Copies of this chain bind each other. A is one copy, B any other.
Amino acid sequence: MHIAISKPQPVTGLRPVSLRRLSAFADLGLADEALVRRLKPRTLANGSILSVASNEGTGSWLLLGGWAARVRTMPDGRRQIVHLLLPGDPVNVSGGWAGDRLPIVALTPVIAADADLLRTVLKMGGPEHSALALACARASWCEQVYCLNAIVRLGQQTAYERLAHLFLEIDARLKAVGLVSDGRFQLPVTQDVIAHTLGLSLVHLSRTLRQMRKEGSIAMRPGHVELLKPDVLAAAAGFPHAATWPD
């Protein structure tokens, strides 16, 4: 069963996916929406570097389509995907999050709105964009929660459990931006990517996927995944990925 590289996911619905995502965090005003809409979308090829390590103030984006990841590479070449970035995610917009200093790589062709302007505006702290600033801060908070979850996943769980947990997390995140239909979501990355996210070898991940398929817990069509038995997966995942925010 193959997972094919696909075209960037289209912007569905009337409002861009970025606005749908951010509105879930705060009631955006008209000025907020206008500012977000003004940001220029760009298309980036698979493998592009969206952001370089230790280079602050550049590489701010609102991800509109396609997947990307914060990656850490070790001197001997081993790679760990620290966090997956999905459509709707703001990246490097709010300050104060160390994850923003990790390099970001496009895992598929990507459409992203250049948010350097947004970052600059929010940094000034004007009250006219306080709702937008709050929304971005909460999105950043959620990303932190996902990273903390990753520590538990990698430290305590088996391959099967890790995969179940990750699938549920992706499902929930994509649902939040309306990218799950009929219980199916697009998985536009190779198994290599999932393996690097879960700290597993490609071969072992492939076997774990097969096991889930044979059990009937999931179904896969090229480039897509369907969670057939979310309760079974949730039982395996063991702990939730709920990302509630403070304030």
> What 10 pairs between A and B have smallest CB-CB spacing?
A155-B199, A98-B144, A154-B154, A80-B155, A80-B152, A78-B156, A154-B155, A98-B145, A72-B152, A74-B239
**A235 to B151, alpha carbons, bound, how many Å?**
23
B144 touches A99 (CB 8 A): yes
**Binary interface encoding of chain A residues 136-158 relative to chain B, with 1 for a CB under 8 A from any of its CBs, else 0:** 01001100110110111011100
Instruction: Please give the count of copies of this chain that the complex contains.
Output: 2
Inter-chain contacts of A126 with B (CB < 8 A): none
Q: List 19 A-B contacts (CB under 8 A).
A: A54-B244, A74-B239, A75-B238, A78-B238, A80-B155, A82-B151, A95-B246, A96-B96, A96-B137, A96-B140, A98-B145, A98-B148, A99-B144, A102-B148, A147-B148, A150-B155, A154-B154, A154-B199, A155-B199
Q: Which residues of A contact B (CB under 8 A)?
A: 54, 56, 72, 74-76, 78-80, 82, 95-99, 101-102, 137, 140-141, 144-145, 147-148, 150-152, 154-156, 198-199, 238-239, 244, 246
Inter-chain contacts of A155 with B (CB < 8 A): 80, 150, 154, 198-199
B246 touches A56 (CB 8 A): yes
**A98 to B147, alpha carbons, bound, how many Å?**
10
**A199 to B54, alpha carbons, bound, how many Å?**
29
